């Protein structure tokens, strides 16, 4: 068997590595002329770290990212609402890593070139359409070149050509009305140097966590400012590398100066800011048709809530390889992959539209918009825990279930 992967992002490269580990030849075709370490910070949750560890990348991850120990939810007034351990501190057998997206991308690219061979990684090949017959599937690239194999996996992102071909009336991604401004700043560690914080509420939120240690004792700290815009506001096409302006959002955070973190000061230390309108798409009734399927953002683009986007793409990749290795036919393998992955990712997509675990922040803000004296006069411990545990189970990284679940290794 040979598989074409359209898209050399995190999901596509992980799929190539997983297929190679399963004894299946894979060839990656990336749209950009050069794969560069773009983006800012992301989180890789324990169930995705497990899959990368089984691919032999555990040591490289540990050397590249920060093993997150704790998550805290904090109000817009700097008051703690909820804290919970993360990764190994929460009882998982695998860490949770906060890591620079570009560094993770390069780590996967280097591994793919070393294992598959550089000749199996192509750049400057943007997928235009797909065709298939009883013998195989063909990728047609912009410019007129083609490639044919036994199966084609479209991991070509939120603007997937393969998805658009099958769903021509779907239109543009669905915009929530919020914009994310994402950046990194070099600053001293806060809250022990391995804590992720989520602050504010639905209309105005701030997320912050370290993604690398520096030799001088400082850290590279990833942060995201999220603001819901007026109903008549208009924003253009989303992208990871579109420059943003600090003055578009920083004034709304002027008072967010707390004893553990000065948010305006952190914003001023950013070298560059990138803007990203918060978009997703409706879940699809099907991903696969014959020898062709979707993966990652092409299959289930979701709001970046709960640190789930990259992790779900990694899970897609490993499940895909497992079922193609085990399936009696290519079609059977792709159908089993879809049956395993489509329902949970659809549920996460819809849950993220409903704020996911950030419901904790919004509910406290609704009940106590001016702050609180005693938290449990506003919301109970049981209610807080129920929301946090519900999302872990939905997203597939509940500690007990994860530690007991069968490995995806083929």
pLDDT tens track for 250-268:
999 999 999 999 999 999 9
- Sheet of 204-213: strand order equals 80-85, 70-74, 195-200, 204-213, 219-228, 174-187, 270-280
28 touches 5 (CB < 8 A): yes
Angle at 283 between CA 274 and CA 28, to 5 degrees: 65
Residue with tokens 């992102």: 157
Helix (H, G, I), strand (E, B) or coil at 104: helix
222 touches 209 (CB < 8 A): yes
Answer whether residue 408 shows pLDDT above 70. no
Pairwise CA distance, residues 184 & 5, whole Å: 31
The pLDDT value recorded for residue 233 is 78
The pLDDT value recorded for residue 409 is 36
Pairwise CA distance, residues 329 & 290, whole Å: 10
pLDDT tens track for 59-74:
999 999 999 999 999 9
Region of poorest pLDDT, from 132-136, 231-235, 297-301: 231-235
pLDDT tens track for 282-291:
999 999 999 9
Nearest to 55 by CA among 95, 17, 101, 102: 17
Segment 178-202 mean pLDDT: 96
Pairwise CA distance, residues 13 & 313, whole Å: 10
310 touches 48 (CB < 8 A): yes
Confidence bin at 407 (pLDDT 50/70/90): very low
Which of residues 322 and 39 earns the better pLDDT score?
322
What domains are there in the chain, each with its CATH number?
A: 2-37+101-172+283-355 (3.50.50.60)
Answer whether residue 232 shows pLDDT above 90. no
Which of residues 154 and 304 earns the better pLDDT score?
154
Pairwise CA distance, residues 49 & 43, whole Å: 10
Confidence bin at 395 (pLDDT 50/70/90): confident
Q: Distances in Å between the alpha carbon of 295 and those of 71, 91, 163, 189, 235?
A: 29, 30, 10, 36, 26
């Amino acid at each position: 068997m040979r598989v074409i992967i359209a898209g050399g992002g995190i999901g596509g490269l992980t799929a190539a590595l997983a297929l190679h580990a399963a004894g299946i030849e894979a060839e990656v075709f990336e749209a950009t002329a050069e794969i560069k370490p773009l983006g800012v910070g992301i989180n890789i949750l324990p169930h995705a770290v497990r899959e990368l560890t089984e691919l032999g990348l555990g040591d490289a991850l540990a050397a590249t990212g920060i093993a997150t120990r704790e998550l805290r939810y904090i109000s817009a007034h700097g008051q703690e609402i909820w804290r919970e351990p993360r990764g190994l501190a929460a009882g998982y057998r695998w860490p949770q890593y906060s890591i620079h997206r570009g560094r993770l991308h390069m780590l996967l690219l280097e591994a793919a070139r070393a294992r598959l061979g550089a000749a199996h990684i192509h750049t400057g090949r943007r997928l235009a359409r797909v065709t298939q017959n009883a013998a195989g599937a063909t990728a047609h690239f912009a410019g007129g070149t083609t490639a044919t194999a036994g199966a084609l996996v479209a991991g070509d992102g939120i603007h997937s050509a393969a998805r658009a071909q099958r769903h021509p009336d779907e239109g543009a991604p669905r915009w929530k009305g919020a914009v994310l401004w994402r950046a990194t700043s070099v600053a001293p560690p806060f809250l022990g140097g391995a804590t992720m914080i989520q602050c504010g509420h639905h209309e105005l939120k701030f997320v912050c966590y370290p993604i690398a240690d520096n030799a001088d004792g400082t850290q590279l700290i990833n942060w995201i400012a999220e603001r819901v815009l007026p109903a008549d506001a208009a924003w253009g096409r989303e992208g990871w590398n579109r420059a943003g302006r600090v003055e578009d959002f920083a004034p709304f955070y002027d008072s967010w100066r707390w004893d553990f973190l000065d948010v305006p000061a952190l914003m001023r230390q950013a070298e560059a800011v990138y803007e990203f309108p918060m978009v997703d798409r409706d879940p699809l009734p099907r991903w696969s048709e014959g020898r062709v399927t979707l993966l990652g953002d092409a299959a289930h683009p979701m709001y970046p809530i709960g640190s789930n986007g990259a992790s779900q793409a990694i899970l897609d990749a490993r499940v895909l390889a497992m079922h193609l290795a085990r399936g009696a036919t290519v079609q059977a393998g792709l159908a089993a992959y879809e049956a395993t992955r489509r329902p949970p990712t659809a549920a996460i997509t819809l849950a993220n539209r409903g704020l996911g675990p950030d419901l904790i922040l919004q509910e406290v803000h609704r009940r106590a918009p001016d702050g609180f004296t005693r938290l449990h006069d506003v919301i109970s411990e049981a209610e807080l825990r129920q929301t946090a545990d519900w999302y872990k189970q939905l997203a597939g990284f509940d500690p007990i279930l994860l530690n007991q679940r069968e490995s995806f290794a083929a």
